[in-house]
Amino acid sequence: MVVDIGTGKSWRHLNGDPRVHAEQQFVPIVWGEEVYSIPAPGMPYTYLGFGSDGIALGADGKDLYWTPLSSRTLYSIPTARLRDQSNSSEVLAQAAVQSRGQKGVNDGMETDTNGFIYLGSVETEAVNIYNPANGTVVTFVRDPRINWVDTSKCCYWKFCRVYVLILRSVGRQRLALLHKQPAELRTFHVSRN
């Protein structure tokens, strides 16, 4: 969904595109174990079906990066393609999507002023960094206490406060139910010029 904040007008792009939906038969590995969804009590396990969740705007605003939660692939699209509302805009948007490669399973994403994109890594108990300039993913920090990283931010003029949530699970059986437990909150200040 694209929204023009100035006019309030909104439109859709990539709505039916498979790159914004969960990968078929996707199974993440957390704490060395496969994770499945339990749709309801007494129902059999099924594959996770979470679409686009992690999302970040490039530092220069020219590209939007995203990943379905049920995927290990990072994608991007030029924001100009998302702003386009011409008759051929959907075809051009789908053609402009780029696969940026494998980066592991993540939820939260955040961009710094250098253009690096920080990705929570659910499977490796880490925060990784994706470098758009060369397409590499490296580990920024790894710790067994990091179970699930998500992000939220509040921006005020020149400064942006980024909240990195380290979500903790109570037990492995709770992980299968996909319940997020109370979070430990860490705050970082990022200068926006």
Q: What is the DSSP letter of 185?
A: E
Q: Are 76 and 96 in contact (CB under 8 A)?
A: no
> pLDDT grade, residue 51 (50/70/90)?
low
| Rounded-to-integer distance, Cα 138 and Cα 150, Å | 18
User: Strand, coil or helix: what is 56?
Assistant: strand
Kindly tell me if the per-residue pLDDT of 100 is higher than 60. yes
* Total H helices, total E strands in the chain: 3, 15
- The more confident residue out of 74 and 184 is 74
Q: Give pLDDT, residue 75.
A: 93
Per DSSP, helices labelled H in the chain are: 79-83, 89-96, 172-176
Average pLDDT of every residue of the chain: 75
| Rounded-to-integer distance, Cα 98 and Cα 130, Å | 15
For residue 134, which phi and psi values (nearest 5 degrees)? -130, 0
State the pTM of this model.
0.73
Name, of 55-59, 148-152, 153-157, the range with top average pLDDT: 55-59
Q: Give pLDDT, residue 168.
A: 42
pLDDT digits (tens, 9 = 90+) for 9-22: 888 888 888 887 77
Q: Give pLDDT, residue 137.
A: 92
Minimal CA–CA distance to 183: which of 154, 149, 141, 155? Answer: 149
pLDDT digits (tens, 9 = 90+) for 166-187: 444 433 333 333 323 333 333 3
Kindly tell me if the per-residue pLDDT of 30 is higher than 90. no
Residues sharing a CB contact under 8 Å with residue 185, sequence separation 6 or more, in sequence order: 163, 164, 165
Minimal CA–CA distance to 56: which of 99, 106, 118? Answer: 118
> Which residue ranges form the domains of the chain, and what is each CATH number?
2-146 (2.120.10.30)
